[in-house]
Amino acid sequence: MAFSTDLSECPKMSRFVKKKERALEPFLELESASELHVEREHKLARSLAKKLGNILNNVCSFFSIILYNKIIEQKKIYHFFSDQEINNECLAVCDAEYFNCSKNCENSDCLRKCAEEVIACENSCPCGADCPTGCVDCPEHPLCEDECEDAQFINNDYKICVNSAIYVLDFCLKKCPPEIGCHNSCYENYTQMLFLCPCIEQETTTTTQITPIEPSDVFILVISYYVDKSYLQSGDGSLQISATINAPENRYADYAAYALVNGKLHIFGGRYDGTKIARLDDCTLNELTVRLNEERKYGHAALSIENGKKALICFGDSGDIRKTCEIFDGSTTVSTFSADSTHYFGGLGLYKNQPASVGCWTEKHQKAETLSATGWTALPNHPKRISVHSLVGLENQSLLLIGGRDSGNGGGSQSGIWQLKDENWNKIGELLQV
């Protein structure tokens, strides 16, 4: 049967084609509007940059947050145009599919089917009938997915938004007085800013599954040799923010040992005062009236025990102090069992939920011990004459020994990551830097 291209015989298809022709007319207008929008964006950016310079010189972080919100509002306008561009691309794909479909048709039923398919295709596009607000409604659309895959590397909108939030956070923290409430408020604002960024996932769930904490969501307080050099380090190492800590003396925390007691960070001993105990209240180290029973200036360690209700403080730099231990409950200190071996710079960590220590800097031995309710007992010797390392207890009741110095190798640094599990030491990894 011959196929006629005279659409007057098919009024519905004639109207459809004319509709498609009219639909193409606004594209040139949209392109012109987009160019005008870009020019306005450039002017706006220059204006905002000038205002930002004035603000940073004259006002505090509160106004920076207001400025940030203004930027976000402008970015929302930009995202509309960005999604509109995706819509144009999607419509072009639909048109191509319609062309490929219709060119093989030999009857009106075939053309009608192609028309229905192209309408469904257009409706599914970002900014189409099924996704009226763009990629927000259809994040799984193929043209939307690409924008958020590896967004931290390829999506400039995401990177600009996140960097702006980080900048405001840093500015806010630096303006905070030594009050933890101010710092918490800065982080709350930071989180709210991130929620406005493209590609940030805001998942809700009704299951009991616990979402693991990402390293980038954790900040570690580092109190350095000089207290005024303290900082917050993100868990993934990507961000470092200065922290204001007040102390009686700038070297107050030098060589001190640290542990949490009743949810508060406490420091014990150290070079400035070997018997002091101080508590971090908000951003101030307040010295307590209670003292350590032994002077512990160097090489000692502290560990939270009994679910954080108490701290075990052990060892030191001379004589039998290198074996002794005491327990602090938040108000008093009581001596407890001494280790069988010295553990100067041997550290403390949990192995099978009990305190353990490994090695000694001065005696250069490999001995490991664990403390139970009846005293210290021997564990398998470490393969190296190890000291000045970090000990970390894991949920599987094993113990990690990370880094340190190897006295069997002239006291040089060792990069190994060792695990004590089921009474056996095994090397399970290497540090990238030592």
Written as one letter, the residue type at 108 is S
pLDDT at 110: 86
* pLDDT over 90, % of the chain: 43
Residue 264 CB contacts under 8 Å (≥ 6 apart), including other chains: 279, 280, 281
d(C-alpha 185, C-alpha 46), whole Å:
30
pLDDT at 172: 87
d(C-alpha 406, C-alpha 415), whole Å:
10
d(C-alpha 76, C-alpha 198), whole Å:
10
Written as one letter, the residue type at 347 is G
State the pLDDT confidence band at 209, using cuts at 50, 70 and 90.
low
Contact between 319 and 308 under an 8 Å Cβ cutoff? The reply is no
H-run or E-run covering 426: strand 424-430
Q: Which residue has the higher pLDDT, 205 or 95?
A: 95
Q: Taking Cα atoms as reference points, which of 204, 197, 262, 249 lies closest to residue 223?
A: 249
Across 265-294, average pLDDT: 95
DSSP 3-state of 218: coil
C-alpha torsion sign, points 179, 180, 181, 187: positive
CB 374: neighbour CB atoms within 10 A? 7
State the pLDDT confidence band at 266, using cuts at 50, 70 and 90.
very high
Across 102-123, average pLDDT: 86
pLDDT at 147: 67
Q: Taking Cα atoms as reference points, which of 289, 297, 284 lies closest to residue 247?
A: 284
Domain boundary assignment for the chain: 11-150, 256-430
Q: Taking Cα atoms as reference points, which of 343, 236, 243 lies closest to residue 285?
A: 243
Angle of the 11-24 helix axis to the 108-124 helix axis, nearest 10? 30
State the pLDDT confidence band at 2, using cuts at 50, 70 and 90.
very low
Which strands sit side by side in the sheet containing 375-379, from one edge to the other? 349-351, 354-358, 368-372, 375-379
- 371-415 pLDDT, tens digit per residue, is 999 999 999 999 999 999 999 999 999 999 999 999 999 989 999
Q: Which residue has the higher pLDDT, 87 or 358?
A: 358
Q: Which residue has the higher pLDDT, 75 or 234?
A: 234
d(C-alpha 227, C-alpha 247), whole Å:
7
- In the block, which residue shows the tokens 């049967």? 1
| Whether residue 334 has pLDDT greater than 80 | yes
pLDDT at 403: 95
d(C-alpha 76, C-alpha 241), whole Å:
29
User: What is each CA distance from 371 to 71, 79, 225, 346, 396, in whole angstroms?
Assistant: 57, 60, 30, 14, 18
Q: Taking Cα atoms as reference points, which of 314, 394, 379, 310 lies closest to residue 346?
A: 314
Q: Where are the beta strands (DSSP E) in 253-332?
A: 257-261, 264-268, 277-281, 284-287, 301-305, 310-314, 325-328
pLDDT at 311: 97
d(C-alpha 76, C-alpha 86), whole Å:
15
d(C-alpha 226, C-alpha 104), whole Å:
79
pLDDT at 79: 46
Q: Give the pairing of strands 310-314 and 390-393.
A: unpaired
Could you tell me which CATH number the domain at 256-430 has?
Answer: 2.120.10.80
Q: Where are the beta strands (DSSP E) in 182-273?
A: 219-222, 231-234, 240-242, 257-261, 264-268
The half-sphere exposure of 222 on its side-chain side, counting CA atoms within 13 A, is 16
